[in-house]
Amino acid sequence: MEQARLYPRSPQRRPWRSAVLAVAFAALLGSASAQTLTMAMAAQPDTLDPQVTSATAAFQVAKSLYDTLVEVDQSGEIVPALAESYEVGDDSLSYTFHLVEATFHDGTTLDAADVVASLDRIRSPDTASPKASEFAAITSVEAVDDRTVVVHLSQPAPALLATLASGWGAILPSEKVASGHDFGNQPVGTGPFSFVSWQRDNAVTLAANPDYYQGAPQVDEVVIRFVPDSAVQLQGLLTGEFHVIDTVAAADQAQIESNPSLALVRDPSGLALVAALNTRRDHLADARVRQAFNLAVDSQTVLDVAYGGGTPIGTFMEAGSPWMPASIEPFAYDPEAARALLDEAGWDGSVTLDMALPQPYENHIQAGQMIQDYLRDVGVSAEIRIVEWGVWLSDVYGGAHDFDVTVIGHTGKLDPTGRLDGYGTEADNYPGFDDPEVAAWLEAGARETDVETRRELYANVLTRLHEGAPFIYLGTPDRVHARSADLQGFWITPMLDSFDFRTARFE
Amino acid sequence: MTRYLLGQALSFLVTLWVVLTLVFLGMRALPGDAATILGGMDASAEQIAVIRERLGLAGSLGVQYVGFIGDVARGDLGDSLRERRPVTAVLLDRLPVTLALAALAFVISLAIGVGLGLLAGLKPGGLFDRVTTLFATAALALPEFWFGFLLILLFAVNLGWFPVLGLPPTGLSWQASWHLLLPAVTLAIPRSAQVARLTRAQVLEQRRADYVRTARSKGLAGHAVARHIAANALPGVLPLLALELGGLLTGTIVVEQVFGLPGLGATILGAISARDYPVVQGVTLLAVVVYVGVNWVADLLQLVADPRLRTA
Amino acid sequence: MGRAVFGAALFAVVLLATLLAPVLRPVDPLEPNYRATYAGISAEHPLGTDRLGRDVLSRALAGGRVSLSIALSATALTILLGGSLGALAAAVGGAVDTVLSRAFDSLLAFPGFLLVLLVVAILGGGAAQTVLALGVAGSPVYFRLARAYARSELRSEYVTAALALGASRPRQVLRHALPNFAGSILVQGASTAATFLLVEASLSYLGLGVPLPTPSWGNVLQESRAFLTRQPWAAVGPGLFLAAASLSFQFVADGMRDRLDRRS
Interatomic CA distance for residues C224 and B16, integer angstroms: 38
Q: Report CB contact under 8 Å: B149, C225.
A: yes
| Bridge partners for C55 per DSSP | C49
Say what the pLDDT of residue B308 is: 60
CB B105 within 8 A of CB B191: yes
Query: In the structure, what pLDDT confidence band is assigned to residue C31 with cuts at 50, 70 and 90?
Result: confident
| Interchain contact A373–C (C-beta under 8 A) | yes
What are phi and psi for residue A52, nearest 5 degrees? -120, 10
> Which of A369, A386, A389 to mutate to probe the C interface, most C CBs <10 Å?
A386
Alpha helix ranges (H) inside B123-221: 127-141, 144-151, 176-207, 210-217
| Nearest-neighbour CA in chain A from B72: distance (Å) | 25
- Cβ distance C226 to A369 less than 8 Å, yes or no, reads no
Q: Which amino acid is at B187?
A: L
Instruction: Give the C-alpha separation, A182 to A188, whole Å.
Output: 9
pLDDT of residue C158: 65
All chains having 3 or more CB pairs closer than 8 angstroms to chain B: A, C
Q: Cα dihedral sign for C158, C162, C163, C168? A: negative
Tell me if C226 and A388 make a contact (CB, 8 A cut-off).
no
Interface test with B, best of C10, C67, C202 (most B CBs within 10 A): C202
pLDDT single digits (tens) C73-123: 999 999 999 988 988 888 888 888 888 888 888 787 777 788 888 888 888
Chain B: give the shortest CA distance to residue A127, in Å.
8
Computed over every residue of chain C, the mean pLDDT equals 80
| Residue B276: other Cβ atoms inside 10 A | 29
**Residues linked to residue A145 through DSSP beta bridges, in sequence order:** A148
Task: Give the gap in angstroms from C-alpha B131 to the nearest C-alpha of chain C.
Answer: 14
Pairwise CA distance, residues A34 & A297, whole Å: 52
Chain C touched by B245 (CB under 8 Å) = no
How many whole angstroms from its chain centre is CA A226?
17
A365 interfacial to chain C (CB closer than 8 Å): yes
Report DSSP letters for A63-115, one per residue. TTT---SEEE-TTS-EEESSEEEEEE-TTSSEEEEEE---B-TTSPBP-HHHH
Q: Give me the amino acid identity at B82.
A: R
- CA B224 distance to own-chain centroid: 36
Higher pLDDT, A99 or B73: A99
Contact B33 A394 (CB under 8 A): yes
Q: How confident is the model at residue C179 (pLDDT cuts 50, 70, 90)?
A: low
> CB-hemisphere CA count at 13 Å for A319?
22
* Yes or no, beta carbons of B287 and C202 under 8 Å apart: no
Inform me whether the pLDDT recorded for B254 exceeds 90.
Answer: no
3-state secondary structure of B60: coil
Neighbours of A349 (CB within 10 A): 9
Count residue pairs from A and B with Cβ separation < 8 A: 123
| Interface confidence: ipTM more than 0.85 | no
CB B121, CB B203: distance < 8 Å: yes
Which phi and psi (to 5°) does residue A354 adopt? Answer: -95, 105
Q: Which amino acid is at B211?
A: Y
Minimal Cα–Cα distance from A415 to chain B, Å? 14
Distance from C-alpha of B48 to C-alpha of A129, rounded to nearest angstrom:
9
Whole-number Å distance between alpha carbons of C86 and A33 = 73
User: Are residues B116 and B196 in contact, defined by beta-carbon separation less than 8 angstroms?
Assistant: yes
Is the per-residue pLDDT at C162 higher than 80? no
Q: Do C254 and B137 count as a contact with CB atoms less than 8 A apart?
A: yes
Are A366 and C52 a contacting pair at CB < 8 A? Answer: yes
pLDDT of residue A17: 53
Residue type, A91: D
Nearest CA among C181, C194, C175 for reference residue C264: C181
Distance from CA of A37 to the nearest CA of B (A): 13
Q: Name chain B contacts of A131, Cβ cutoff 8 Å.
A: 42-43
Q: Please name which of C127, C117, C82, C111 lies closest in space to residue B26, comparing C-alpha atoms.
A: C117
Inter-chain touch C124–A384, beta carbons under 8 Å? no
Determine contact, residues B199/B118, Cβ cutoff 8 Å. yes
pLDDT, tens digit, for every residue of B16-64? 888 888 888 888 888 888 888 888 888 888 888 988 988 888 888 888 8
Cis amide bond preceding C213, omega within 30: yes
CB within 8 A of A70, min separation 6: which ones?
A: A78, A79, A80, A81, A83, A86, A161, A164, A165, A169
Residue segments in chain A with a per-residue pLDDT below the cut of 70: 1-34
DSSP per-residue codes, A232-262: HHHHHHHHTS-SEES---GGGHHHHHT-TTE
Subunits next to A (3 or more Cβ pairs <8 Å) are B, C
Chain A residue with minimal CA distance to B167?
Answer: A202
pLDDT band at C186 (very low <50, low <70, confident <90, very high): confident
User: A366 and C51 in contact by Cβ < 8 A?
Assistant: yes
| pLDDT score of B309 | 56
Q: Which residues of C touch A391 (CB under 8 A)?
A: 124
Q: How many CB atoms lie within 10 A of CB A477?
A: 24
Nearest CB among B47, B85, B164 relative to A132 is that of: B47
Q: Min CA distance, A361 vs chain C (Å)?
A: 12
Nearest to C32 by CA among A105, B276, A366: A366
For residues C241 and C110, which has the higher predicted lDDT (pLDDT)? Answer: C241
Q: Which residue has the higher pLDDT, A9 or C32?
A: C32
Inter-chain CB proximity C228 and B142 less than 8 Å: no
Closest of A33, A149, A170 to residue A86, by C-alpha = A149
Confidence (pLDDT) at C49: 79
User: How far, in Å, are C90, C106, C185, C264 from residue C146 at the CA level?
Assistant: 8, 18, 9, 18
Q: How far is A466 from chain C (nearest CA, A)?
A: 28
Any residues with CB less than 8 A from the CB of C82 and at least 6 apart, and which?
A: C104, C138, C139, C140, C141, C142, C143, C144, C145, C146
Nearest CA in chain C to A366: C52
For B90, the closest chain A residue by CA position comes to: A200
**Cβ-defined contact of C206 to B152 (cutoff 8 Å):** no
Which H or E run includes A143? strand A138-145
Are C52 and A370 a contacting pair at CB < 8 A? Answer: yes
Nearest-by-CA chain C residue for A371: C32
